[in-house]
Each structure stands twice: as C-alpha cells, then as structure tokens.
Structure 1
Amino acid sequence: MQRKEKHALFWGAGQMAAMTGSIIWVAGEHLMPLSWRLSLCALALSLAIAGYWAGTRFFIGKIRRENIKWAPAAVVFGAVVFSLLWHWKTEWLAPGTVAIFGLVICWAGKQLIDARGRYRLLGWTLILRGGFNLVSAAIMGPDLYTVWFIGTGLLKILSTLGLIYAVQDEIQQRYARTIDSLSHGFLIRDRRGYVHIANERCARLLGFRHAQELVGRHVSELLPNLTREMADAYFRRFEAPDVQYPIAETTVFTLHNGSRLPVELLGSPYIERGRLYCLVQLLDISERKKKDDLLYQAARIDPVTGFFNRHGLASRLAQEIDQAAAAGRECAVLFIDLDKFKRVNDSFGHAAGDQLLRTAASRMHTLLGPDDILARFGGDEFIVILPGLAAGSATATATGRAAALIEAMERGFELSHHAISLTASIGVACYPLHGRDGDTLIRNADIAMYEAKKAGRGEQRVFNDAMNAAAKDALVIDGALRGAIEAGEFYLVYQAITNAHTGKLTKVEALLRWNSSLLGPVTPDRFIPVAEDSGMIVELGTWVLEEACRQVGQWKHGLLDDVTISINVSAWQLADPGFVALVAQALQRNGLSPRQLELELTERVLIDDAANVRAVLGQLRALGVGISLDDFGTGYSSLSYLTQFQLNTLKIDRAFVMDIEHSERNNKLVHAIIAMGQSLGLQLVAEGVETAGQAAILEKMGCHYLQGYHISRPIPPDELLRFACARADAPECAI
C-alpha cells in the first residue's frame, strides 16, 4: 500500500518469503519431491535474507535504488548455494536455515540500534528473535521443534508488529515534520472543540512550549478570552450550506501572558472515518500589520512635514464635522498658502524648499491648540482645522488664529545661510456657516485664500457668498481662456503717449482686449487675474509681445517709423528662463531696434523676487530694451526700487494726477516725483490725464510725456495712424 516506503516493501517481502518457506517445507512433504522442496525453500530463504537486508538498509538510509539492480542475481546465487548445501548435507537443513536466518535478523536489529535511537526496542526485539533462532539451531532437536515453532512465532509476531509500527511511525513523523516545518501554526480540532493534532509553530504562537501540550485540550483553554460558545459557533460555520473554503478572517489573540498577537485564521473542513473535523491554520501577521500600518501612515501622513496629508485631513475633518454636529458646536478651516514659495525652490533647490516647509509647518504647529489639526494640503499649501468651537465663536477664533499665523510667517526664516522673508495668505471658512461637509469648507476656504492673495501679501479673508460668485466667474473664464488664442479671440488696441511740450506722438502702449465667442467682450480686470492664477499669463504675454512687435514692424517706413511700443510684463514671464531670448527673437524677426520696445513692470513684480528680477532686467538693459515702472507711488517701497533696479521710465499713477488741479497736496506730491525722477535721469509719464488743465500743469512741472483720455483713448492701429497724422505736419498726411 505504501509503495513509496521501500523499507516496508522489502521487509514485507522478506517476512512473506520466510513464511512461504516454512509453509512449503511443512505442507509440501506429500505434495512434491524433496529436491523441489529444497530448491523452493532455498529460494524463499534467499528472498527473506535479501528482503530483510534491503529493508533495513533502506530504513537507515544506506542504500539507493541503483544498488538493487544486483539483487536478483544475488538471490539466485544464494538459492543455488543453499540448495546445493542442503542436498549435500540434508541433516543441516533445519538448523542451518534457522541459524542463517537468525544471523540476518540479528544483523538487522544491530543496524536499527546503531542508526535509529528511537527504534532501539525494535532492534533488541529482532536481536532476541535472531538469537532465539541461533540457540534453537544449536541445541534444539526434532523433538523440540514444537517449542521452537511456538517461541519463534511469538517473537516473529512481536518483531513484525514492531516493523509495522516503524513503517507507520516513519510516515507519521514525516507528516509531523512537514507540519512542523510550516511557517504558520496548524491544528485539527473536532466538533466538541478538542485538539487532535497541532504543530510546534502553533504551540509557540499560542505561548506553549511544545505541541503535545495542546493535544487533548479544549480550544477554549488555549486562549483566555475564548469561550466554549465561541468555539462551537466557529465550528458551526463549517456545517453551513454553500460555505466557501477556506474560511478566512483576521483577529487579534490575547495570550495567557497578556501579549497580543494579530493572526489570520484559515479554516477548512477535514473528514476522517465519517466525522467532520476542523483544520485551522494560524498565520502570524504581525509583520504584515506593521507594513499595513506603515502604508496607512504613508497614505495619511505627509513625508516632508510629518503632519497629515490631504487624505488624512479629509478623514479627520469629516470626523470633526460629525462631532460638531452631534454636540451643537462649530469648527473652522484655515487655508494657508505661502506666498511665492516657488521662487525659493527655483533659487535654492527642492531640498532647501522642503526644509523651509518643515520649518514653517513646525512654527505654525507651535501656535495651535492641543486639539487643533495641521495638514499639508499640497505644494506650499497648508490647512488648519480648529475643532470643537463654541457656537457663534468660530469666525472670531479663526481670524485671531490666522493673524497669529501670518505674523509668525513674517518673522522670516534662515535657509542655507540666507535670510528668507516669507508671507502667508489665509482664507477662512467655518462650519456650519460656510459649509456642512469637508469638501465644501475646504473649497470655500481656498476661495477666500485667493481673495486674500489679491489683496496683497500677508492678508486673510473670511469666505462670503460674493466670493463664491467671483470664483464661479473665474472658473468660467478659465475654461473660456483655453483655446482663445488659437481661436483668434484676442486683439490689441493702442493708447497714444505724447510729448508734453510738442504734442508729438512718440510712444504707444499696447493694451490687450478679449472678445470671447462664449462670453462676449471680457474686460482685462476679469480675465488677467484668472490667467495669472492658471499660469496662462505666460502664453498670453508671449502673444502680446509678438503681436505688438509685428504691428510696429508694419508701421516702419511711415509716420510711426520711430515709435516706441510699451507692453506690460507679468512676474510669471520674468520667471521664465527663456524670456530674454524670446524678446530678442521678436525684435529681430520684425526688424525693430531694441530701443523701440519698453517693458512695463508693476511694483508687485519687483517685490516678489527681487534677486531674479534684477538679473533679468540687467540682461534686458544689456539688450537695449527700455524698462518702465508702472503705477509709481501706489506701493510702499517704491523709492528703494529706484536705486536697486536700472529703470528708464516712471509712470505716475492716475490717482495722483486726477486731483492735481484741486488738491495742493497731490500737486506738491506730483511735483516732488517729477523733480526726483529728473534728478535720477528718468523719463516721466503721467497717466490718466483727462483735462487740458492737468496737461498744462504737468508740462509746467517738467513732465516729459502725457497719457490719458485727454490725449486719446485706446484705439485700433488704423485709427492711431490718423491720430498721428493729426498731431504731425507731415507731407504724407496731406494725401
């Protein structure tokens, strides 16, 4: 039956041959001649000797299959030798057979004792059986054959049972070692809950020293919190119809020593002799749980700052809203954006940028309460949740906390041995006033943050419905902007800038206009901020540069041959590494002199990234392009820029010009600006000139150029040509 157990096969064959020889000798006396009996008994003896020898050698592992190929020849040779010997000395037949077989049995017993310590009893039994055969051969006569037969029969039964036990024990040990070699625990329990089989790994997992300590116990005795009812309920799951195997579940065991063990249980049915048993595998998932925890952390924690990330924030915010709703309380969301953080990354690298984020997050965290939550929403954006606030107090608490955060950011940072100034723009949204779910609160706080950015650096704004309308409008505009350049929806108009003394047209400012196929005419104050937020301002600025230079190129060899074109440039364009090359190419492509192009910058552009702007402006000045500072006087650091940057022109803001006739204060201020500009060798342009009186006062003060509705509104190129003709006494205008 166990064909793979070669020792069992050979032992069985040897014992069968020995029994067959005895039967032939006893029963064959009247059935066959003596010569046949002797030959068959000799063959049987050879087979018995070969069987016991091969079985023993196989059992102790000292023989291989290839060694058996000589066995048939050895059996035949032995049978011939024994047959000849017994024919020659017939009286030796009985004692010789008994003695030879006894020697083989003794040898087999000695081999088992030496090689397998656990089978010493079987070895001694075989030696006793072989020794009995030898003694019988030496002293026992024919009259005592009955005694010999009875004695050797009993010893044969004992040794045969021992051999059977050895075979079965080897099989059992093999499967036991296989089970014990498993990396997970294993046990079989019956319907009543008693353990029948367990491996060593199972014992160690459950806090026992050996597997035998589990066998025979009820499973409820293995764990302190496991009851018999729970064990019975688990077994009943295997009797349920249409159940899918294995039944898998994860749980945490509390062991008798108090330690906790996370495991995965895999249960399968096992039927033996018609009875249902439960085979359970116990997998220690401690390492898996650690990895799962790490993955859970990675999914919820920002690796740069160590605080919540966007996903962790969403989960916590949902919890806080639910708790606030249940308790009748409020909570607030602060959306924080670090102004112009991208410039830090571009200047110092991402490693330094990450260090700045960590430092800023740590500084923010020190200002928060023990229950407040800080998260990095992405990039340079952070969110603070102020939970569990008393009804009616959320807005005041949030604005106070936002002010503290803004002040903390303004203290500056030390980064790579450089002092970095940083500001934060903060938007505030409160539950339930501004939204009843996390997504709405975050979105509205984000909208409020952008309103704070529009108001300047280091500002905060609380969300209101008007902001939402503006945000929706910006979203619609953003969608319409996509593809508007390719669709030819943009065009330029030109506003004249004339010499204050001669009235001659010497400069024009190119102004962008948009006639959307979806929205109709859209004013610049609506679409320019959206284009800046989305980054499309770079593409728009490139188009304006190319179109303005193209138009001036068309005016060459005419009345406006020497006109200077002025265009506005955003901070995004100056941050583009290819901007200077783009300007040079536009001038060359349209045959313009660099002095015919003047780039207008606002104070905000100079503030945002002074070092980078200074370098780019230096390259543009080296190229020969003029630089103009627009809206001069409306900022708070303008005077310092006059010494830091190589400017050509100052444009006096219309806010000062409009009251120059009626306000002595404005009159003196404009006069001071003009005097200062002249002393620095700058050209001065007065914006917003709407009356002849304003123009006369500005000319008397020494202002070089005038721009405004009194001079001309923004007009198309052909109308500008007619305006130029009206201002000039040129022959071509008379045609």
Structure 2
Amino acid sequence: MSASIQSYILFSLVADLSLCVVLLLVWLRQRNEWQALFWAASQLALSLGTVAAYLGPDNWLRPLLTSATLTVAVGGIWAGAEYFRGTLQRKVLRPALLAGLAGWAALYAGWLAYPGSLRDSTAALLGLTMLWAGVRLSVRRSYYLPLGLILLARGGFNLLNAMYDLNLDLQFWFAYSVLIKTLTMLWVVAAVQEKIQRRHAHTLDSMTSGLLLVDHHGVVREANRVAARLLDCESAVALVGGQIGDHLSGSLRDLVADYLRDLRGAGACVPLTRNIQLHRQDGVTVPLDVMLSAYEEGRQPCCMLQLIDVSERQQKDQQLYRAAHYDQLTGTFNRSGLLQQLEHCEAPYAVLVVDLDQFQRINDCFGRAVGDQLLLQVSEGLRRQLSQGDLLARLGGNKFALVLHQRVPGSVLPQAELLAARLPRAMHANLAQHEQPVALSASIGIACQPEHGRAAGTLLDFAATAMYTVKKTGRGAFRVFDPAMNLQARDAVRIDAALRQALKAGELHLLYQPIVATADRRLRKVEALVRWHSPTLGSVPPDRFIPVAEESGLVVELGAWVLGEACRQLAAWGPAAGALAVSVNISPRQLTAPGFAAQVRQLLDSHGIAPQRLELELTERVLIDEGQHTREVLAHLSQIGVRISLDDFGTGYSSLSYLTQFRIDTLKIDRSFITDIEHCPRSTNLVTTIVRMGLSLGMELVAEGVETAAQAEALAEMGCHCLQGYVISRPVAADAVPAMVSYGA
C-alpha cells in the first residue's frame, strides 16, 4: 500500500477517534444517553476495521478482525438508533447478541472463501445498516431528522461505492469523510441537547405549581405552563424574554420587585414565602402560596419564583372549618363554633341552653328522619326569636344554645327570662308532622355574663347545669343558674383528692380496646384506656375524673402512670403480641412537661420496646396552640421513632398547614362523624373527604366509635385503614389481648 493511502487512512482514523471522543463525552455528561456510547463503540469498531482491512496482515487474521469489527459496528448503529428512538427493549438484547455472533461467523466464513469480496461487502453491509438507521430516525421526531439525513447520506455513499466502485480521488474521499463525520458529531450533540431540553420542558410542565426563573433585571428566562395559566398568559413561551412585572399586579408585583431589588444589591437573599391573593386582569382572584429563592446562573444572581394555587386547599380548609364549627343538620354553630364566637363578644350577654324534653319518643315513634325535620323547624323557630348579633348553636342531639346580647341598659337577665318564657310557644306554633300536631316542651337554663362568670365555656356549663336542674324538677320550665347548683365544683374537689390517693394506692388499671385492620380484621394495635374503681366513690368513669385531673394538673402524674403501665404490659406480652402496637393518650400538659421526650425514650429502652410499637395520641388543640417548646418535643419524639396520632380529628379545627408542618402518622376520625354515615350524606361526604385527605398525606386512618357492620363496610369502601369500636370489641383486660393477636379481634 502506498504511503499516501496510509496517510489518508491515518487522517481518517484521527477523525474517527475525534468522533468517538465527542460521543463518549456526551455519554459521560448524560449517563442516560446510552445511544452515544453505542455509536462510539460502532465508530471505534469501524476505525479498527479500517486498520485491519488496509493495514493488517494479509492472511486469515484480516477477515477475522474485519468481520468482528464490522459486526460490532453494525450492532452499535442498530442499538444506538433503537435506544435513541426509545424502542430498545431488554428482551431483544440476547437474541440480537446471538444474531451478531452468527453474522460474525457467516462473514468470516464468506471472506475466507472469497477474500476479494471483503471491501465491497463491508461497504454494502455498513451502507444498508446506516440507511435503515437513517430511515428509523427520520420518521420518528422532527429533531431526529438532521441526524437521520446524515446517516442516510453515509449509508447511501457506502452502498453506491460497494455497487459501482466509485474509485474516488483520495483527497475527495478524505474531505468527504471528515465532513460527514464532523456533521455527525454536530447533529448528535444537537439532537441530544434537544432531547434534554424537551425532557426539561416536559418536567417543568408536569409540575402542579407554576415556576418562573427570572434574572436580577426581572427578565423571565424560563417558565412552565402552570405559571402561564395562573398569570393568564397565552403560553409559557410568551412569558420568556419579557419583564416579570408586566404579568403581575398588586402585592405580588411589589413583593417580586422588592426581592429583585435586594437581589441586585446584596446578590443573595434568603428564601421567602408569602400567601397572596393574585388579582388577574381577567377579574379572577387566585389565592397563591408564593415562594421566592435566589440562585446563581453564570455568576449572575437570579430568582426562582414558584406559584402554588391553594384554592382547593382553602376549600378543604373551609369544609373542615365548617364541619368543626357548624352543625351539619341545622347549619347553626356547634359548641366549638359558639365558644369561638363568644371569645369576641362584649359583655353583658346571657347564655340560654334549651333542651327538648323527651325528644327520643319522637324518634322512636316517627323515625330519625322525622326527628331531624323537627330539629330543623325548632332551629328556625329559635332563630326567629333572636335579634341581629345574637347567636344560635346546636350543642348536639336535641340541645340548643342561644346567646342574647344586651338590648337595653341594665342587667341582661330580665331580657333572657322574657325570651325563655316565649321560646316554648314559638316552637309549638310551627311544628306539625304526619297530619297531627307535635307538642314539644323544653327545659331551659340561663347564665349571665358578668353576673355568673366571664369565661364563655364556664357560662355555657352553668346554663347547662341550670337546665339539668329543670329536668330533675319536672321539665318544661326555665331556671337561672344559682351557685348552689354547682355541685360539680365540690365533686371535683372530692375526685381530685381521691385520685391522688388512688395513684399511690394502685386503684387504677388499664383496659385495652382493639384496633383492627379494615381489610382482614387482624389486630394491629390496642388503645390503652385508664379505669378507676374507688373504695369510697365506687366506679368513677374517665369523663368524670380526667377533666378534674386536667384542671388540677394531676394529669401529668396520671399520664405518666398510664404510659409506664402500657409500656410495661406491652413488654410483658412478649412474643405472644407479635408486632402489636399500643396507643396511649397524651394530654397537652403532659406533652409540655419538662423531660417528657426523655421519659418516653427511657421507657422504651428499659422495656426493650421498638419505638414504632408505641403511638402517642394528641388532640388537635395541641397543634393549634403549640409553642416552640411543643414543636421541639414533637420533633424529638419523631426522631426517636415514636408514632404520633391525631385523636378525635374533626371535632376541633386545624388548618391543613398544621398537618404538613408536623409528622402525623395517624388520623383518628371522631366517632361523632362515624355515627351518621349510614343515614346522613353530609356525614358520609365529610368522612370521605377526611379519608382522602389523610391518604394523600400518607397517613394511617382509624375510625373511632364503629358500632355497626354497615358502618364498617362503608368505611372499608372509603379506604379507611383501621376500625375501632364496639362492633369490633369492647375494651378488654390485658390477659385477653394475646389470644386476639393469634385469632383476630
């Protein structure tokens, strides 16, 4: 072979190696772009094949090496094109490898038999492969077309050279080779870059929040579709290149302008989060969570602006707020809502608690639906007796509360008595069912502020005490609260003293109520419930002594005993309990007591209990009224691994933001919502909303107070994870739990 041919071949090899280096760099930069590695292997094989064909030994090794490199080159072109199109599947790799080995053997055998066909058959096979790859890429995507055309040109040239022996001038051949390989490098890089950009754009557009990247001059560099929709812009492309201030208004525009000004001055800004009402030019107002954060691009400070539409979240917040503060049947306030309103009321005012006498007879005679209709009419009758600014609430069942504000100077009590006297007549005049009048009487208790107290909850309790006094003395009348009625305070003193003695004397014990999986009714965990039998007071129910303990502060000592006894018993069950967890109620005072988290850790360590087997039940009030200390305690408990449960969910009110700020593992849906899901679509919809919300936040859902099979079936259909209630089991003694673990509740 002449020196000039060798020189041109060497120059061509340099171009081949340059192409291989570029392809390898593309793969190293983007490791998921495997087509670049396949094509690099193919080009390297072509280079080695050229060396073998023209510079290799003139014996049996030449066809062996040439056929091997040609097989690798063809396979690399095929695999790269298929991977680039996204059609290369793992299941075809083994058949393709076997086919490649068979092809290599066939080529080698053919070239041993016909050595003169090596050059033309090689060019023909490469040409056909490149033509096939070019066609595959050209018809797939628009940004594949240039690369496909390059492969078509390379394949066509090789095929023509094989068919007609073009016998080109070496300089022309070298120039063509360098040009076509340079174009290949450029279009491979361009196609990969286009693919990355499209993937990046798709990622941005798939986000549920709006995203804009803005430089320090306020020019939008990048935006997604959600941002364009929120800002009422025709497309994301229309946002890019424009000033961000042109698409914003009001407080949002001022917020972004101030942030960019700080960005230009200091060059770095702390992340900023705001909740803003965006007033668009089309008249629509969109509530947004706006997040601004600084980053650097090309050594220039830039801003990332994220816009999150919180309309749906606010609607859910409003639903939960209404469920927590309003009665579902009558639309009036419930107890929680009434107390919240009273916090803002100015004295003097009177509270009237109205209880319909023997209302259960109506439900028994006419059914619950008729009873609900009567309650609706009662609420309307009561509402008509009130003036603007007065309040009406349904406290539950057939009990209502009215708040009467002072209308004339002096005590509000005479006005309250006049109202109480005419309320029964107002209810009688508007009620008839089943073509016969329904006679209703009511027992009414009255408490006034400031005569009987100043705290809203206390006044409500005093009015209820007066109402129960009427019940005991014959019904159908009203009474004003008298301090002599308040035996509860005296009873609380007795209970407090006896409870302190009970803690020392060991009079308390725990029962355990099973909590089972909805799907298979297997026992998942038990809730520890404290019980007290006093030698002097007899059996004292928890709703009688726990509020006393809360008020006196004894609940911290009581809660410590319950927690310690529950952990001791969980350890005592041993292997018989399997992975059973125990749930313990924790009061706000106990949670914030010094060293509580350390106490929990010490109990777990001393009894050898895995942290995830202990669940601490908190109320929503803990989250609403939480301070920094509470936040730190909950964070410490989460680090330990203890599970946190939110008890009686829905009876209070906590914004969804609280559920995202704390690690809540379990939501326990209050029994008051479960009771009506068989009969009340509103209750069903509310429970469904709570279940879906909990599932979306990755929480476990437990329904409390499940008393019928129909309720359990409805909750299973909603997707609730666990059930607790009398339909499963009443609270049981500790020695009954292992059998339930083995055989189910």
- Normalised by the length of structure 2, the TM-score is 0.53
**Residue of structure 2 in register with 1:589 after alignment:** none
Give the match for residue 145 of structure 1.
170
Distance 1:454 1:81 in 2: 112
Q: Tell whether the 8 Å contact from 1:402 to 1:460 is kept in structure 2 after alignment.
A: yes
Per the alignment, do residues 171 and 71 of structure 1 end up closer, same or farther by CA in structure 2, a change over 3 Å counting? farther
After TM superposition, the structure 1 = structure 2 runs for residues 584-733 of structure 1, keeping only pairs within 5 Å, are none
Q: Summarize the Cα distance change of 1:87–1:337 in structure 2 as closer, same or farther, 3 Å threshold.
A: closer
Q: 1:157 aligns with which of 182, 196, 200?
A: 182
Alignment of 1:406-425 (within 5 A): 406-411=424-429, 413-425=431-443
Asked whether 1:212 is paired with 2:237, we answer yes
Are positions 1:230 and 2:256 aligned together?
A: yes
Q: How does 1:482-561 map to 2 (within 5 A)?
A: none
Match of 1:287 among 304, 312, 315: 312
Shift, 1:363, TM fit? 1.0
Q: In the alignment, which residue of structure 2 is the partner of 1:353?
A: 371
What secondary structure does 2:404 align onto?
strand
Quick one: distance in 1 between partners of 2:374 and 2:475? 18
Secondary structure of the corresponding residue to residue 355 of structure 2: strand
Deviation at 1:295, TM superposition (A): 1.4
1:404 aligns with 2:418: no
Give me the whole-angstrom Cα distance separating, in 1, the residues matched to 2:242 and 2:193.
Answer: 25
Q: Does 1:126 align with 2:151?
A: yes
**Aligned residues of 1:45 and 1:79 also touching (Cα < 8 A):** no
Give secondary structure in 1 for the equivalent of 2:172: helix
CA contact (8 A) 2:294 2:301 kept: yes
Distance apart, 1:161 and its partner CA: 2.0
Residue of structure 1 equivalent to 2:42 = 14
After TM superposition, the structure 1 = structure 2 runs for residues 189-338 of structure 1, keeping only pairs within 5 Å, are: 195-225=220-250, 226-227=252-253, 229-230=255-256, 233=259, 251-264=276-289, 283-321=308-346, 330-338=348-356
Aligned in 2, Cα 1:102/1:346: closer, same or farther, shift over 3 Å?
closer
CA contact (8 A) 2:269 2:294 kept: no
Letter in 1 for 2:152: I
Establish whether residue 87 from structure 1 lines up as the match of residue 115 from structure 2: yes
Q: Offset of 1:318 from its aligned partner?
A: 1.4
The corresponding residue for 1:370 is: 388
CA positional deviation for 1:128: 2.9
CA distance in 2, matches of 1:474, 1:183: 55
C-alpha spacing 1:160/1:74, structure 2 compared with 1 (3 Å): farther
Question: Secondary structure at 2:454's aligned position in 1?
Answer: coil
Q: 1:404 to 1:108 in 2, by over 3 A?
A: same
The answer (yes or no) to whether the contact 1:189–1:277 under 8 Å persists in 2 is yes
Aligned partners of 2:114, 2:294: CA distance in 1, in Å? 61
Deviations 1:1-31 (A, max 9, x none): 35544432222222233344456667x48xx
Give the gaps of 5 or more residues in structure 2.
Answer: 1-27, 497-534, 537-745
Q: Secondary structure at the match of 1:426?
A: strand
Deviation at 1:405, TM superposition (A): 1.9
Distance 1:355 1:400 in 2: 27
Shift of 1:282: 5.1
- Alpha-carbon distance in 1 for matches of 2:495, 2:125: 109
Q: Which amino acid aligns with 1:204?
A: R
How large is the RMSD of aligned CA atoms in angstroms? 4.6
Aligned-pair identity in percent equals: 36
Of 135-144 and 116-125, more deviation after overlay is shown by: 135-144
Matches of 1:49 and 1:258, distance apart in 2: 62
Q: Which residue of 2 aligns with 1:173?
A: 198
Kindly tell me: are residues 9 and 473 of structure 1, through their superposed partners in 2, closer, same or farther at Cα, counting changes over 3 Å?
A: closer
1:200 is displaced (CA, Å) by: 3.4
Deviations 1:64-84 (A, max 9, x none): 323332254156336526854
How far residue 267 of structure 1 moved from its aligned partner, in angstroms, is: 7.4
1:442-494 superposed Cα distances (whole Å, 9 cap, x missing partner): 2444455456667865544555xxx21x1235764799899xxxxxxxxxxxx
* Separation of aligned partners in 2, 1:309 and 1:231: 45
Counterpart of 1:421 in 2: which secondary structure? coil
Cα gap change, 1:462/1:304 in structure 2, threshold over 3 Å: closer, same or farther?
Answer: same
CA distance in 1, matches of 2:109, 2:301: 57
2:454 to 431, 436, 449: 436
Are positions 1:471 and 2:489 aligned together? no
Say which one has the larger Rg: 1
Cα–Cα, structure 1 residues 312 and 357, in superposed 2: closer, same or farther, change >3 Å?
A: same
Write the deviation string for residues 260-319 of structure 1: whole angstroms up to 9, x where unpaired.
334556778877777777666655443333222111111111123221110111111112
In structure 2, relative to structure 1, the CA distance for the partners of 1:449 and 1:113 (3 Å cut) is same
Check the 8 A contact 2:443/2:476 in 1, yes or no: yes
Name the structure 1 match of 2:576: none
Task: Assess if the C-alpha contact under 8 Å between 2:260 and 2:303 holds in 1.
Answer: no
What secondary structure is seen at the aligned counterpart in 2 of 1:320?
A: coil
Q: Distance in 2 between matches of 1:45 and 1:262?
A: 63
> Cα deviation per residue 1:129-178 (whole Å; 9 max; x = unaligned)?
43344556678866722122212321221123222333343344345445
Give distance in 1, aligned partners of 2:183 and 2:326.
Answer: 72
SS at match of 1:302: coil
Distance 1:397 1:263 in 2: 47
Partner of 1:392: 410
Amino acid at match of 1:47: V
User: How far apart, CA to CA, are the structure 2 residues paired with 1:124 and 1:216?
Assistant: 33
Instruction: Between the two structures, name the one with larger relative contact order (CA 8 Å, sep ≥ 6).
Output: 2
Provide, for residues 680-724 of structure 1, a one-character-per-residue CA deviation record: whole Å limited to 9, x for no partner. Answer: xxxxxxxxxxxxxxxxxxxxxxxxxxxxxxxxxxxxxxxxxxxxx
- Pair 34,385 (structure 1): closer, same or farther in 2 beyond 3 Å: same
Letter in 2 for 1:386: L
Is the 2:214–2:220 contact (alpha carbons within 8 Å) kept by the matching residues of 1? yes
Distance of 1:164 and 1:22 partners within structure 2: 25
Letter in 1 for 2:486: K
| Contact map agreement 2:262 2:269 (CA 8 A) in 1 | no
Distance 1:188 1:12, change over 3 A: farther
Kindly tell me: are residues 352 and 118 of structure 1, through their superposed partners in 2, closer, same or farther at Cα, counting changes over 3 Å? same
Contact kept? 1:3, 1:9, Cα under 8 Å: no
Q: Report deviation, 1:258.
A: 2.9
Write the distance in 2 (CA, Å) between the matches of 1:229 and 1:82: 76
Q: Is the 8 A contact 2:249 2:278 kept in 1?
A: no
Q: Which residue of 1 aligns with 2:131?
A: 106
The Cα shift of 1:375 comes to 0.8
CA–CA separation in structure 1 for the residues paired with 2:315 and 2:325: 15
Say which SS state the counterpart of residue 401 (structure 1) adopts. Answer: helix
Partners of 1:274 and 1:80 in 2: CA distance: 58
Residues 283, 78 of structure 1: alpha-carbon distance in 2 compared, 3 angstrom cutoff: farther
AA aligned opposite 2:453:
G
Query: Matched residues in 2 for 1:16 and 1:275: separation?
Result: 41
Judged with a 3 Å threshold, the aligned counterparts in structure 2 of structure 1 residues 240 and 69 are, in CA distance, closer, same or farther, namely same
